[in-house]
Each structure stands twice: as C-alpha cells, then as structure tokens.
Amino acid sequence: MTRLHVPVPLRWADLDAYGHVNNVEVLRLLEEARIAAFWRHGEDAGVLPTAVLDAGPGAGTHTLVARQEIEYLLPISYRREPLVVELWIGHLGGASIEVCYLLTTGDEPERRVFVQAATTLVLIDAATGRPRRITEAERATWGEYLEEPLVMRRRGGRAAGPADVTVPR
C-alpha cells in the first residue's frame, strides 16, 4: 500500500469564530494537497512521482471536480506544525479518478485523523471541453497508488465519530 503524504500548513485565516478550521478551508487544504500530488509546476515538475498533469498556461488537460464527499471527524484547532494529507487513488476510471484523503496530524504513535474525504475528478481535453481518456503513462504512474476507496460512515442519520472510523493502514 503506497500513499502520498503532503504537508499543508494552517493559516490564521483558516479559523472560524469558534477557533477551529472552517469547513470551507478544509476543502481548500485538500485541494492544495491534490494540486501538489497531481500537477506539474514548471521547474518543480516531478517533485511528487504522481505529478504528471501539466498545470501551466495552455495546458492540454483541465480537471473538473465531479463529486466531493467529506466527513469531519474531529475539530481542527490552530497548530504550528503542518497537517498531513494522506492521498491515494480509490478508483481509476476511463476518464476519471477518485482521490481519497485522510487529513491527519501525521505523527505516530498519537496520530489523529480529523477528516476523511473523496473527490472524483474528470480529465477534460482543454481544446474540446470533452472528457478525455486517462493515458497509459498516467495509468501506470497512478496505479501504484491505487487501493481500496474510503468507506464513508453514517449511522442513523448521524455522522460517525472518531471511534467509528476504520483507518486503512
């Protein structure tokens, strides 16, 4: 089982009136990790082995978020140390990928999981605006990070608490 571990720092602006990271900002943290994981950035190309999509001006591929699901397991207070987003691919489709995330403290043995989430991305040909197939090179690169997708937990209309979450290892 191979996962990417992307550190994401918190900012004071991420906090809401209750002193916790706002739910919208959590999605931004996941987006930052996803961009680092999958998009090349000029000279930074290849920093992560999965960063194979061109993010520069005139890129041939765009990605559209088709679906997002998120479960908040613990409130996130401000901390100086970056949080760690663990990412893996839960599904490689024809023109889409499901990215799975755990937003964690990243430190063992007292690792805490604050959020689990999944995003379905569709690869779009920039010239036509239509979905495009995942290339064999992308499939080979991303296939190393393919594992079981997250199972979101809901019981009796309530979200699962931290004790209910089975965290894949």
Q: pLDDT tens for residues 69-108?
A: 999 999 999 888 999 999 999 999 999 999 999 999 987 7
Q: 69 near 30, Cβ under 8 Å?
A: no
Encode pLDDT of 9-31 as tens digits.
Answer: 998 888 888 888 998 999 999 99
Q: What is the pTM of this model?
A: 0.84
Confidence class of residue 164 from pLDDT cuts 50, 70 and 90? very low
User: Which amino acid is located at 42 in the chain?
Assistant: G
Which residue, 164, 138, 116, is CA-closest to 61?
A: 138
User: Which amino acid is located at 69 in the chain?
Assistant: E
- Where is pLDDT greater, at 45 or 32? 32
Q: In whole angstroms, what is the distance from residue 5 CA to residue 141 CA?
A: 16
* Interval 33-49 mean pLDDT: 76
The domains found in the chain, sorted by start residue, are 4-150 (3.10.129.10)
Tell me what the pLDDT averaged over the chain comes to.
Answer: 86
Q: 119 near 99, Cβ under 8 Å?
A: yes
Residue 42 pLDDT exceeds 70:
no
According to the model, what pLDDT value does residue 159 have? Answer: 43
- Where is pLDDT greater, at 58 or 129? 129
